[in-house]
A and B are shown apart, each in its own frame.
Chain A
Amino acid sequence: MTSRNNIKIIAGAIVCHEAKLRGDVTIGAGTIMHPCAFVNAEAGPIIIGEKCLVEEQSKITHRVPFDRVEQKNVPVLIIGSNNVFEVGCNVEACRIGDNNIFESKCFVGNKVTVTNGCIIGAGCYITEEQVLPENTIIYGENCLQREALCGPGQQTLQMDTLSKMLPNYHRIRKPNLKS
């Protein structure tokens, strides 16, 4: 589809130079993107909201399911605010709300809609077409599911530390959009 990269970084976002961004990607203010994070907008644009944390080796891919490839208008993958993508996660979800945590090495298929406050536990695989209700927690090797009373707390401290530390040791991409 789009062979040229069209990267939009809104002022306030910290995106390391070594983060791989492919296709049409918009990154919101306050979002931190580690080196070697991989955002691949191969099927259509990706918009990442504010104050998301994308750690090393995590992969966010916009991939349309095989049975919908023929459709004309490709949707935009919208990722809300305050999401955490931990080391090595592989997320292809078709829509992501706010306040979600994708733990290490988890996989979320492209037919899954993630709402708000969900936690996908380390190593969990979800591939079936479904909408995860709010505050759903998926954990353990059998991907058991439970519902929490409230969503996970925000990682403000971690984000503050990172936004101070990262620019000292990494080259940061210049934001090209005013907020």
Chain B
Amino acid sequence: MAYIIEQEVVKYVCTCGLLKPISKLYFCRYCLEVRCGFCVCHEVDSHFCEKCLENMPSAEARLKKNRCGNCLICPSCLLHLSVRAATVGPKNPEDPKATPRKVVYLHCLMCRWSSRDVGIPDQIAATGGWPERENVYNVRLSEIIEWYKSVVLLEKQQKLEKDKKKQRKYMSFTDKTGLTAEMIRKRIGLTEPPNPLLKTKAKPLEGAIAKEDVEELPDNIFTQPIKLNEITTVQQRLLQPEWQPVTVDKLFPIHKHLSVKQSLRCRSCEHNVSKPEFNPNSVRFKIQLFAYYHIPEIRIVTVEPLRAGQPAELLLKFINPTQHQTVVTILDLSSMPELIQDDKCSADTSTDDELKPIEKEPLSLSLTQSASLLHTTLSRQPSFTIKPRQTKQQVGADIEIPAANFVLPPRDDAAEFDDSGENYNFNDDPRLVKWRKSNKAVIKLQITPSTDLNLGDQVVVGFVMQHIYTNTIATSVEKDKEPQKCQHKIRVFLSLGNLLGSSE
């Protein structure tokens, strides 16, 4: 798995034009296009706490400000705080019968910060009950939020009245206050219950008042030496924006932020390319259309020293990750012009109609379900295609495009343990294919670094890899149908290393 941690030397061009290593790409089986994190739709599936692994509905998460109610993190170093038990002397030491009491306090294993440092009293029970601090600006903040909500509501009302007749094709759920239940009610034709916020007009807010004269700095600020151990770092201050403690004795435990499980959706066909399992304990996926499982992986084996104008031999290893045999052809970069969208493979779209309902949820959900559930299942952004951007990768070497193509057999997990001599009968061009073993093949290419390059420049070569992709979606729906095969093209750029001086 070296390509995950090491430098990215082999990069594929995503449909959107960005360069990514194969480990960061997805492959939509419905559009037959690669997608990356930049050109898919990100959706939050569920909120959970990664320490106690507890699931939280999104409404509750919003109410709790996306924090876990039980887990606390260290205000000094951000690590999880653990509960530590200790015994202290009895309450009244005069009583000879009194036994020592068991108490708990919070303790950080990393920086050894403890709740005793700032004078938080020890607790009897290990399960929470730690004192919560009240934000002094709570009232003011909630006033502002109320006011803001009423303004948004009013604006929406006015807008709705304006374009009541126009039937919108898409609706946006990405709204600022989360008034999604109302949107859905409208969509399925229910009458709107009168909004309580509209009736009781929020009282107008007093704006913040700017002050002309500010307090003078105390004189000793210039003379007193700073004790770095007593003041907090900027990070520690910004961790608690409500209090922004200046000295370390005001650091208090912070509730842990929640994590989300997110699913990724192809923007053009609205199918998921990645969907995790709902359970926070699970790290598996329901849908994982990672390019790594569908597109041949390319690794650089060796390259001869790169000298300007001199041909060098480049050995590349191709690995077929699929269960189907494929044929790989190396093509020139010009065979895949940029910014052309309809340069797609011959994907048959006739099965699309049968497939789509699997993903789409019916809109007629009963209203007894909580608004949050509706929110997660329906928060689908209207699909829109992003115009692919120009790939700005400069190519610094010519590549001799081989005339022959080569076959990659399907992946066979058992073959790894099979030492018996394999004999292949693929009619390989011996000038192209140098080595093969099960689903892997090493091929030889001839490259010539350009004479325009300067010494020490990174030499990048690019080509188009065309491979046969076997689409198995149709077979899973209709058993007797043959899997569709199509030609898929993808541009690949390889960083080969730096240009050396001439050998003379």
Residues of A at under 8 Å CB distance from B?
A: 119, 121, 133, 136-137, 139-140, 144-149, 152
Residue pair A146, B113 in contact (C-beta under 8 Å): yes
Q: Complex: how many Å from CA A19 to CA B437?
A: 49
Provide a sorted-by-A list of 28 A–B residue pairs whose CB atoms are within 8 angstroms.
A119-B112, A121-B110, A133-B229, A136-B229, A137-B111, A137-B112, A139-B110, A139-B111, A139-B112, A140-B77, A140-B110, A140-B111, A144-B77, A144-B233, A145-B228, A145-B229, A146-B76, A146-B113, A146-B229, A146-B248, A147-B229, A147-B230, A148-B112, A148-B117, A149-B114, A149-B116, A149-B117, A152-B112
Q: How far is the CB of B53 from chain A (nearest CB, A)?
A: 25
Residue of A nearest to B86 (CB): A153
Q: Complex: how many Å from CA A119 to CA B112?
A: 9
Q: How far is the CB of B398 from chain A (nearest CB, A)?
A: 45
Residue of A nearest to B233 (CB): A144
Instruction: Please give, as numbers and ranges, the residues of chain A lying within 8 Å of B116 by CB-CB distance.
Output: 149
Instruction: Please give, as numbers and ranges, the residues of chain B lying within 8 Å of A136 by CB-CB distance.
Output: 229
Q: Which of B113-136 contact A (CB under 8 A)?
A: 113-114, 116-117
Residue of A nearest to B108 (CB): A139
Residues of B at under 8 Å CB distance from A?
A: 76-77, 110-114, 116-117, 228-230, 233, 248
Instruction: Please give, as numbers and ranges, the residues of chain A lying within 8 Å of B248 by CB-CB distance.
Output: 146
Interface of chain B, helix or strand or loop or mixed?
Answer: loop
Q: Complex: how many Å from CA A146 to CA B228?
A: 8
Q: How far is the CB of A22 from chain B (nearest CB, A)?
A: 33
Best-surrounded residue of A121, A133, A152 (most CB of chain B within 10 A)? A121
> 8 additional contacts, CB 8 Å, given A136-B229, A149-B114?
A119-B112, A139-B77, A139-B112, A144-B233, A145-B229, A147-B230, A149-B116, A152-B112
Q: How far is the CB of A33 from chain B (nearest CB, A)?
A: 25
Q: Complex: how many Å from CA A133 to CA B230?
A: 13
Q: Complex: how many Å from CA A137 to CA B108?
A: 12
Q: How far is the CB of A151 from chain B (nearest CB, A)?
A: 10
Residue pair A144, B111 in contact (C-beta under 8 Å): yes
Q: How far is the CB of B250 from chain A (nearest CB, A)?
A: 14
Q: Complex: how many Å from CA A104 to CA B112?
A: 15
Instruction: Please give, as numbers and ranges, the residues of chain A lying within 8 Å of B230 by CB-CB distance.
Output: 147
Instruction: Please give, as numbers and ranges, the residues of chain B lying within 8 Å of A121 by CB-CB distance.
Output: 110-111
Q: How far is the CB of B27 from chain A (nearest CB, A)?
A: 36
Instruction: Please give, as numbers and ranges, the residues of chain A lying within 8 Å of B111 by CB-CB distance.
Output: 121, 137, 139-140, 144, 146
Q: Complex: how many Å from CA A136 to CA B230?
A: 12
Q: How far is the CB of B238 from chain A (nearest CB, A)?
A: 15
Instruction: Please give, as numbers and ranges, the residues of chain B lying within 8 Å of A148 by CB-CB distance.
Output: 112, 117
Q: Complex: how many Å from CA A66 to CA B77?
A: 36
Instruction: Please give, as numbers and ranges, the residues of chain A lying within 8 Å of B114 by CB-CB distance.
Output: 149
Instruction: Please give, as numbers and ranges, the residues of chain B lying within 8 Å of A119 by CB-CB distance.
Output: 112
Q: Complex: how many Å from CA A121 to CA B111?
A: 8
Instruction: Please give, as numbers and ranges, the residues of chain A lying within 8 Å of B110 by CB-CB distance.
Output: 121, 139-140
Q: Complex: how many Å from CA A147 to CA B229?
A: 6
Q: How far is the CB of B477 from chain A (nearest CB, A)?
A: 52
Q: Complex: how many Å from CA A136 to CA B110?
A: 13
Residue of B nearest to A152 (CB): B112
